[in-house]
Amino acid sequence: MKFTVRDQFYVDGQPIKLISGAIHYFRSTPGKWHQALHNLRAMGGNTVETYIPWNLHEPEPGKFNFSGIADLTQFIELAAAEGLYVILRPGPYICAEWEFGGYPYWLLNRTKRVRSRDPQYMQAVADYFAVLLPKLAPYQTTQGGPVIMMQVENEYGSYGNDKAYLVEHAALMRRYGIDVPLFTADGGWLPMIAAGNLVSAGLIPTLTFGSQARESFGELDKLMAAAYPGVPYPKMSMEFWDGWFNNWGKPAVQRDVAETAREVRAVLEEGSINLYMFHGGTNFGFMNGANFSDQDGYKPQVTAYDYDGPMTEDANPTAKFGALRAVIQDMGLADELPDPIVTQPVAYAAVPVAQRVALFNTLATLAPEPVVSDRTLTMEELGQAYGYVVYESVDPIRAGESRLNIEDSTDRIQVFKNHQWLATREYDPASWHTTLQVTESDTHLQLLAENQGRINYGPAMISPMQHRGIRGGVRQDGAYIANWRHYSLPLADPAGIDFSQDWAPGQPAFYQFQFSIEGTPKDTFIDVTGLGKGVIFVNGFNIGRFWEIGPDLTMYVPFDLLHAGRNDVVVFETEGREVSTLRFSDHAIKIKEEANSDE
């Protein structure tokens, strides 16, 4: 099969409209990949697109991961078996509402400016590409595989205009064996397209937008006519936003089905499309990103990433699936289509808590070697990527009434006095303070800092805000408190929890539940109503964060995280809520807003 690009996309010399859907392998589990890929084909898609997150594949410098949920080549092979072409977007910056835009945390210790020609940054990119790209090269159409195109960087025109930076990235990709067509993707606004395209180096310009296809492509036409007259180019929305992501405490965003279908038809009348997202999936673990603006402040994204797209978080068709399938068939862009795979989650029986322990009573086993410093250290200084840090004052706090200030932190911080909750600091760009009453001579402070997700978009990507933990120290009546123990709690898994220790009311705590499954496990959802805030582990796997403010009141558990027989669930709850029972649901429960419609 020969894939070429001129004024259109061509396969073996015949023009083709790419009908692609975004499925992020890293936001699903391997057992669900087949269902999602098959259902893309069943909707009428002929291509699957995915980002590639650097922080998943190189979590620590020189330590690579391509197994389990990170088995990208298996995902590509499954796509090929389903008869789909593949578009890859290796970044290294991906945005994607993903932690730090896909960058590994350790870059913050290595370079002062990502997305630049800083030599240390570019060397790190080169070292990563030297491992990643040779794994992907055999899957290119030029070598008999399904990969038809790859992207250089990502929406760079909304960030910078350094064309030399883009040229270096393209050259790195070519150096490590990538010879399929390369493309850029930028917002459908002339200044963004002008800043982010690399047509001069032979790259295909594609656009990202969610409506007004003719107007957006018209912006591209203007640029090409003015800067590259006579150069042929196809039209493709590399991201057509068929929904949107969600933030904590806001109703789940919905986009009207009929309006979405009309806009998709408009894109296909002009050219090709990639639905972002087709199957959104889940931000497992601590991998949700965050946005920041001077107006709205710091806003982390939620665990569920279903995006209100054509597929639910558990890979089942939504009303949009049927509407878009009808558009594709009505336009004569697909032959007879297979039926989608539809699975039915189950609500397992509720189970009582089996064991529980207060966080402060098991710190010694979770972090047996706390780091002691005369000042508060950031997560990056501690060599910690994600999760939580407990800061504990080594020396007793001065008695009497005083003002306690926490300086310069993007984290959510809970303040405890001798393990008793005192106050909670949400993100505050200024110095935050509370009143401290100390009557006992041996009084110590404990500060539980939660990294709620690094910023994934915009100029704040390179700000000091990306360093997590307490950056500026803690003051009592203006004087910096010296000497702190730092307990790192990355919580990659629940190992190290000592449930033989005591539980205490009103404190952060771990709760263990056990339930048994007879026969083949099914997808399910954990009901988090009333649980407060925290994270949940299912058989050692961190399925993500929960927070009672919503919009998601359940957490998705894919069937392949479960097994026949005994299953273990550990809930880490940070607000001091007593968790006595674990309940399940057979469907996602959300706080929803009214659907947006132009009707």
CA angle 515–517–523, rounded 5-degree value: 100
Q: Say if strands 47-51 and 19-23 run parallel, antiparallel, or are unpaired.
A: parallel
Residue among 49, 97, 219, 239 flagged as catalytic:
239
Q: Is 369 a catalytic residue?
A: no
Find the angle CA(532)-CA(465)-CA(375) to the nearest 5 degrees.
85
CA nearest to 188, candidates 253, 271, 98: 271
What residue type is 221 in one-letter code? D
> What's the CA gap between 225 and 234, in Å, rounded?
14
DSSP secondary structure code for residue 594 in this structure: P
Distances (CA, A) of 408 to 122, 296, 405, 471: 29, 18, 10, 5
Cβ neighbours of residue 336 closer than 8 Å, sequence gap 6 or more: none
Nearby residues of 320 by Cβ (< 8 Å), 6 or more positions away: 242, 257, 260, 261, 308, 309, 310
Q: 1 and 16 in contact (C-beta within 8 Å)?
A: no
DSSP structural state of residue 593: P
Per the annotation, the verdict on 239 as an active-site residue is yes
- Locate 239 and state its tokens: 């991201």
What does 156-212 look like in DSSP terms, one character per residue?
Answer: GGGT---HHHHHHHHHHHHHTT--S-EEEEEESSHHHHHHH--GGGTPEEEEEESS-
Radius of gyration of the chain (CA): 25
Phi, psi of 191 (to 5 degrees): -60, -40
Which residue among the candidates 58, 82, 155, 450 is catalytic per the annotation?
155
**CB within 8 A of 139, min separation 6: which ones?**
73, 76, 77, 80, 86, 145, 146, 147
Q: Could you tell me the end-to-end alpha-carbon distance of the chain, in angstroms, rounded to an integer?
A: 44
Our CA dihedral for 387, 393, 398, 404, rounded to 10 degrees, sits at: -20
User: Which residues lie below 8 Å from residue 82, measured CB to CB, with a gap of 6+?
Assistant: 34, 37, 38, 40, 41
Cα–Cα distances in angstroms (integers) from residue 400 to residues 327, 395, 397, 416, 475, in the given order: 71, 15, 9, 16, 15
Nearest-angstrom CA–CA distance, 581 and 20? 43
Q: How far apart are CA 311 and CA 300, in angstroms?
A: 23
- Looking at the annotation, which residues are catalytic? 155, 239
